[in-house]
Amino acid sequence: MDIATLQSRLGHTFSNAALLQQALTHRSHSSLHNERLEFLGDSVLNCAVASLLFDRFGKIDEGDLSRLRANLVKQQSLYEIAQRLELSQCLRLGEGELKSGGFRRPSILADTLEALFGAIFLDAGFDVASRVISALYAPVLETVDPKTLGKDAKTLLQEFLQGKKIQLPQYNVVATHGAAHNQEFEIECLVPKLDIHVFGTGGSRRAGEQAAAKLALESVQQALAKAPVAPKKTRQRTTQLKLAGIATFQPDAPTQSEKTSETRKQVRPEAAAGSSRPAKTSAAREQDSLPPDADDSKPVSSNQSKSA
C-alpha cells in the first residue's frame, strides 16, 4: 500500500510530508523516529476520545467514563484499528525488526498509530486530529456496551466465570496459517467444567484469543441458561439475627413455656409419691390442731383424787 492510500484511509492529506514519514519510522530504522510523535499523539487521542464519550454517553458518571476510555485507548484497541488501515504495509523498520516480524507486532502498530495522531495534530491542529480519530473510532463506539465499559472478550469471560465460581479458561495455539509476513493464528479456548471447546482466529495470538473468548462467553451463557437451577437450602440465621438484636422463632425448638411444663411433669411423680404416706400422720396432725374439750379443761380437786 502506498502513502496516498494511507492518507485517504486516514481522511487527511499531510501538508508536511516529513511528519508523515517520521510517524511511520520505527527507532530500529533511523535516529529520526516516531517516539516523540507517539508521546504527543497519546495525549491527543485521550482528549479526543474523552470528548467523544462525554457527548455520546450523557448518563455515565466520571469513574465509568474513565474506565471506558482506558479500554478504548489501550494497545489492543489501537492495534485493531491499525489492522483495519493495513498500517503494517507502510512501516519503516530496521533489518532486525523486519526479520523478526515486527510489522505485525501489536505494540509497534499501536505506537505508530498514536504517532500518526500526533503528526496530524502538528500538521493541521487539534480539530482535524479529533475528526480523524472520531471517524476511526466510529465502528468501535457502535459496538460499545456501557454496561461492560468497553471491556474485551477475555476480560468479560474471566469475570463471568469468576462470578459463577468456575475455573478460568485455557488458551492454546492450535496452528498458524499463511506466510511469515501475514500469519493467522488459530486459538482454542477450553472451559473444562462446562465441556466447552471453541476456536478463534486472528492476525496475532492475542487477536485469536479474543475471538475464541467471545465464542466461549456466548457458549457459557447458553449452557448455564439451559442448566436447571438447584433450589437454595434455607438456613436459620438465629445467631446472626440475635447479634443484630432481632427476635427469632424456631418452630423446631421448644419454647420457654413448653420447657417449664415439661419440668413440672417430671416433678409430679415425686409429689405423688410423697402424698402416699400413711393417713395416720395426717390424722394426728389434725388432732393436735383441735382445741381441748371443756371437761378436760377443768381442774381436778384433791378430794376426788383421794376417793379415786
Active centre residues (catalytic): 42, 114
Residues 6+ apart with CB under 8 A from 279: none
Element (H, E) at 8: helix 3-10
Cβ atoms of residues 172 and 191 within 8 Å? no
Cβ atoms of residues 13 and 24 within 8 Å? no
Helices (H), 57-105: 62-72, 75-85, 95-99
Determine the Cα–Cα distance for residues 18 and 1; give it in Å rounded to an integer.
18
Residue 220 grid coordinates: 457459557
SS3 content of the chain, % helix, strand, coil (to 5): 60, 10, 30
- CA nearest 144: which of 50, 42, 57? 57
Cβ atoms of residues 51 and 130 within 8 Å? yes
Return the exposure string of 18-30: e unless at least 16 CB atoms fall within 10 Å of the residue's CB, then b.
ebbbbbbbbebbe
Angle, vertex CA 153, rays to CA 151 and CA 154, nearest 5: 100
208 HSE (CA, 13 A, CB side): 23
Cβ atoms of residues 81 and 96 within 8 Å? no
Cβ atoms of residues 212 and 171 within 8 Å? yes
Is the dihedral angle over the CA atoms 56, 62, 64, 65 positive or is it negative? positive
Cβ atoms of residues 160 and 217 within 8 Å? yes
